[in-house]
A and B are shown apart, each in its own frame.
Chain A
Amino acid sequence: MPDALLSTRELEAHYGDFQALFGISIDVFPEEVIAIIGANGAGKTTLMRSITGLLRNEPEMVVWKGQSVGGFRADQVAHLGIAMVPEGRQLFQSLSVKENLIIGGQMGRKGPWSLEKVYELFPILKERRNVPATALSGGQQQMVAIGRALMSNPDILLFDEISLGLAPIIIKSIYEALPKIIGQGMSAIIVEQDIAKAVSVSSRVYCLQEGRISLKGRSDELTREAISAAYFGV
């Protein structure tokens, strides 16, 4: 097996006195897509915030290409090539669609993605490029959020709650676009509450429950029952 691209090692996270994550260890290998599933409050978003540096960790708790990066600030983590499509899109409301995309690419990392490529992937964004980003529909906003993350030409892309708050038809089209997005030598972590969707796009799954990993395994080997048990803790 090759070396992991990104790992967490016994990762813990706290909000004040409240401990949200307990000893989380995950690995993501190059060009691999993993899924993280779990109920509300299981700690999925906290894990994403820890990896991206929005929550500070002990340096050795996050390892990137063999380097301990847990102590990095979020902007330093971004420069490594870790990008995130945050929960709830979180577009910049004072920026136009085009500006939101450009700011995603402002680090100048080299790679296949550019403004034109993103417009090719989501033609509607080219049409609406001069509109304030928050004037778009939910689905179009998710496209901007994805495009904004791609613009940094990341080595790994984190999708936090990729389908939360979107209409089923939009979710379907985003999942259909996913292979085109990730199929460029990129790795990905997909955080999802929909178990079936998560299993279908990933090679491996981690299930979180109350801040701990309750199950992990290859997506094609886990049974529905095992996942349900780990998910709901029954």
Chain B
Amino acid sequence: MDWINAIIQGILLGGLYALFAAGLSLIFGVMRLVNIAHGDLIVLAAFLGLTITTALGVSPLIALLLVVPVMAAIGYVLQRGILNQTLGEDILPPLLVTFGLSVIIQNGLLEIYSADPQKMSAGALETASIALPGDLNIGVLPLMMFVVAVAVIAGLQWIFYHSSLGRAFRAVSDKQDIAQLMGLNKAHVFGLAMALSLAVVGIAGVFLGIRTSFDPSIGPGRLIFGFEAVIIGGLGNIWGTLIGGIILGVSQNIGAQINPGWQLLAGHIAFLFVLAVRPRGLFPRID
């Protein structure tokens, strides 16, 4: 029974990892940008949620209503102010600039909030659970987060393939010059892509902060989980991030079930295994 429970919990955890991954996948798809500060932005969103819940005395889920638009605005400004200048043939500038950004966010958070672990409380929801036959219990909160993650990914999929914004994303991704001839301002479209990516990061950050304790140093670890989910699922495949996230979450929980010290290691090994046998991921869409 422990094993089945571990797998179920792993699947639910995978939803959170898919949220880490979706924003990363989106901006890579649109502008081939890999944001090294992605994990630190997730942590920033968690701290933002914490500040709002304590300042206004509201539930973290209500705080989302503020965190998501604020993160989106940060994304737009960041893209237009800094990151657009780094895009080009050379992969080094965006990589190094977002790496610098990661250092800045980590130490900025350290300065403001100190290194103490923090946590957000979702009240009674946290202990509520649904009993399943065979002594299995599913927490209401993890289940809710998983459902939200699936909904967010379905939403991103819809935006990307069925909205005018998504059409602009795909057009700019295909041929930047020609897209501009259609009257699309590349800088603005990239800004919107980053805004959308960080809106998802906002949800991911608040969920992270409800689920576990967090401190300013955990960003890079979240980046790596998100990255692994993207690669496992296959580059450019939005639904793939959900599958990648679930595989990662289940691997980690199975590893932890064998030996608590192996939790993270098992996730990384699952990733390296996929890389070895299917270098382009399970369901790739981009070359």
- So, do A and B actually touch in the complex, CB under 8 Å? yes
Most A CB contacts (10 A, CB to CB) among B164, B178, B179, B185 go to B178
Query: Does the CB pair B185–A95 fall under 8 Å?
Result: no
Most B CB contacts (10 A, CB to CB) among A52, A54, A75 go to A75
Query: Does the CB pair B186–A90 fall under 8 Å?
Result: no
Question: Is A171 part of the binding interface, using a Cβ–Cβ cutoff of 8 Å?
Answer: no
Residues of B near A74 (CB, < 8 A) are 177, 180-181
Chain A 94-137, CB-CB to B under 8 Å as 1, else 0, gives: 11000100111011000000000000000000000000000000
Chain B 152-186, CB-CB to A under 8 Å as 1, else 0, gives: 00000000000010011011011101111111111
- Which listed residue, B174, B175, B185, touches A75 by the CB 8 Å rule? B185
Question: Chain B: interface residue count, which band?
Answer: 10 to 19
Query: Does the CB pair B183–A78 fall under 8 Å?
Result: yes
Residues of B near A92 (CB, < 8 A) are 170-171, 174-175, 178-179
Query: Does the CB pair A106–B174 fall under 8 Å?
Result: no
Q: When A and B form their complex, what is the total count of cross-chain residue pairs whose Cβ atoms lie within 8 Å?
A: 65
Given contacts A103-B167, A106-B164, contact A94 B173 (CB under 8 A): yes
User: In whole angstroms, how far apart are the Cα atoms of A106 and B179 in the complex?
Assistant: 11
Residues of A near B173 (CB, < 8 A) are 94
Residues of A near B175 (CB, < 8 A) are 90, 92
Query: Does the CB pair A73–B182 fall under 8 Å?
Result: no
Residues of A near B178 (CB, < 8 A) are 86, 90, 92
Q: Which residue of B lies closest to A109 (CB)?
A: B183
Question: Is A200 part of the binding interface, using a Cβ–Cβ cutoff of 8 Å?
Answer: no
Given contacts A54-B177, A74-B177, A90-B175, contact A106 B182 (CB under 8 A): yes
Query: Does the CB pair A103–B168 fall under 8 Å?
Result: yes
Residues of B near A163 (CB, < 8 A) are none
Question: Is A224 part of the binding interface, using a Cβ–Cβ cutoff of 8 Å?
Answer: no
B204, chain A: closest CB distance, angstroms: 26
Query: Does the CB pair B181–A78 fall under 8 Å?
Result: yes
- The prevalent SS among residues of B at the interface is helix
Residues of B near A84 (CB, < 8 A) are 181
Query: Does the CB pair B180–A95 fall under 8 Å?
Result: no
Q: Which residue of B lies closest to A94 (CB)?
A: B170
Question: Chain A: interface residue count, which band?
Answer: 20 to 34
Chain B 86-125, CB-CB to A under 8 Å as 1, else 0, gives: 0000000000000000000000000000000000000000
Residues of B near A104 (CB, < 8 A) are 182
Complex interface residues of chain B between 223 and 281 (CB less than 8 A to chain A): none
Given contacts A90-B178, A93-B174, contact A75 B183 (CB under 8 A): yes
Question: Is A152 part of the binding interface, using a Cβ–Cβ cutoff of 8 Å?
Answer: yes
Q: Which residue of A lies closest to B162 (CB)?
A: A99
B163, chain A: closest CB distance, angstroms: 11
Residues of A near B179 (CB, < 8 A) are 92, 103
User: In whole angstroms, how far apart are the Cα atoms of A225 and B181 in the complex?
Assistant: 37
B238, chain A: closest CB distance, angstroms: 13
Question: Is A172 part of the binding interface, using a Cβ–Cβ cutoff of 8 Å?
Answer: no
Query: Does the CB pair A95–B168 fall under 8 Å?
Result: no
Query: Does the CB pair B168–A106 fall under 8 Å?
Result: yes
User: In whole angstroms, how far apart are the Cα atoms of A83 and B181 in the complex?
Assistant: 7
User: In whole angstroms, how far apart are the Cα atoms of A93 and B168 in the complex?
Assistant: 13
Residues of A near B164 (CB, < 8 A) are 102, 106
Given contacts A54-B177, A90-B178, contact A107 B183 (CB under 8 A): yes
User: In whole angstroms, how far apart are the Cα atoms of A73 and B84 in the complex?
Assistant: 15
B178, chain A: closest CB distance, angstroms: 5
Q: Which residue of A lies closest to B285 (CB)?
A: A94
**What are the 9 closest A-B residue pairs judged by CB atoms, nearest first?**
A74-B180, A78-B183, A107-B183, A94-B170, A92-B174, A75-B185, A90-B178, A75-B180, A92-B171
By a beta-carbon cutoff of 8 Å, the part of chain A in contact with chain B is 52-54, 73-75, 78-79, 83-84, 86, 90, 92-95, 99, 102-104, 106-107, 148, 152
By a beta-carbon cutoff of 8 Å, the part of chain B in contact with chain A is 164, 167-168, 170-171, 173-175, 177-186
Q: A75-B186, A83-B181, A103-B182 are in contact. List 14 more A-B contacts (CB 8 A).
A: A52-B181, A73-B180, A75-B183, A75-B184, A86-B178, A90-B178, A92-B171, A92-B175, A92-B179, A99-B167, A103-B179, A103-B184, A106-B167, A152-B183
A-B contact pairs, 21 of them (CB 8 A): A54-B177, A54-B181, A73-B180, A73-B185, A74-B180, A75-B181, A75-B182, A84-B181, A92-B171, A92-B174, A94-B170, A99-B167, A103-B171, A103-B179, A103-B182, A106-B167, A106-B168, A106-B183, A106-B184, A152-B182, A152-B183
